Amino acid sequence: MTAPILVTGGTGTLGSLLVPRLRDAGHPVRVLTRHARPAADGVEYVACDLLQGDGIDEAVAGAEIIVHLAGGPKGDDVATGNLAGAAKRAGARHLVYVSVTGVEDVPVAWLRTKLASERAVAGSGVPWTTLRPAQFHSLVLGIVEKMAKMPVVPAPGALRFQPVDERDVAARLAELALGEPSGLVPDLAGPADLTLPELLTGYLAAAGKRRPRLPVPMPGKIGRAYRSGLNLAREGALRGTRTWEDYLAEHVAADRRPEPASR
C-alpha cells in the first residue's frame, strides 16, 4: 500500500484545497488535527498538538511525505521544530513547508518565527522543500474589510502587495509535494502588484460601498520595509493566474446593494 501523505493544517483554507488534489492524484492522505474525528472522503484524521508534541510520533509514523501548513500567531517555530524532529525519527523522505514572502527582511515578529521555522526544516536532516507565497487573497480581503468599516479609511499609498489565490498555491504545493525535494524554490506571487489603495478600490466597488480615504504614511521600520518592497516576491518568482478582481467577484456578495449616496 502507498504510504500516506501527512498534511498539517489540512482543514484550513489552504489545506482544504490541497488535500483533495493529493487524494485525487491517488495518494492516501492523513490530516493532522487538534481533535480526533472519523475518516471521511478517503481522508484519515489524527489528533496531535504540534506545539506540545503530544501524539506527534504516532501522527507521523509511516508518512513518507509531510506537508506543513499549520500555523498560528505564536509558537510556529517550536511547532515546526517538533514536527521536523518527528519527521527525522520516522524516516520521512520529503518535508514540505509553506512560509511567506519577505520573511528575511520585514521586521515583524510573526515573520521572525516563520524564518526560524524555515531553518528548522532545512536543518532537520530530512530532504525538504520550502515555498514562500505572497499574501493570500483571503488575508487581504480580511484586511480591507476591516478598514472599510471605518468612516474614513486610511490608505498608505506606498504599500504594495502581490495577493495570490489559495487555489494557485494549492496547485503549486501539490506539484512540489509529489516531486523531488528542491530546497528553497522560487516564490509564488499573484498576477499583479497592487497598492493598498488599489486593493481598497476594488473591494469597495465589488461591495457597493463608498468611503472617503485619507492618504497616510506608515511609520517606523515596518513602514520603511514595506515602502522598499521588502515584502514582495524575489526576482524569478512564479506568478499565479487568478486576479484580485476574480477573487472579489466570487467572494464578495454579488447581491449586496450599493450604499445610498450621501447628501
Query: Which tens digits make up the pLDDT trace of 130-139?
Result: 999 999 999 9
Q: pLDDT at position 258, please?
A: 53
Over the stretch 214-237, which tens digit does the pLDDT of each residue have?
A: 888 777 888 889 888 999 999 999
Q: Taking the domains of the chain in order of start, what are their residue ranges?
A: 5-251
Q: pLDDT at position 223, please?
A: 86
Q: What distance in Å separates the CA atoms of residue 170 and residue 173, rounded to the nearest whole number?
A: 5
Judge contact between 65 and 22, C-beta under 8 A: no
When pLDDT is cut at 50, 70 and 90, the band that residue 260 belongs to is low
254 pLDDT higher than 70: no
Please give the CATH superfamily to which domain 5-251 belongs: NAD(P)-binding Rossmann-like Domain (3.40.50.720)
Judge contact between 97 and 114, C-beta under 8 A: no
Long-range contact pairs involving 26-34 (C-beta distance under 8 Å, separation at least 24): 26/2, 27/2, 27/65, 27/178, 28/1, 28/2, 28/3, 28/4, 29/4, 29/5, 30/4, 30/5, 30/6, 30/59, 30/63, 31/6, 31/7, 32/6, 32/7, 32/8, 32/59, 32/70
Mean pLDDT of the chain: 92
Over the stretch 190-214, which tens digit does the pLDDT of each residue have?
A: 999 999 999 999 999 999 998 998 8
Q: pLDDT at position 262, please?
A: 47
Q: Between 42 and 168, where is the model more confident?
A: 168
Q: pLDDT at position 255, please?
A: 46
Give, to the nearest 10 degrees, the angle between helix 244-251 and helix 137-148. 70
Over the stretch 47-99, which tens digit does the pLDDT of each residue have?
A: 999 999 889 999 999 999 999 999 887 899 999 999 999 999 999 999 999 99
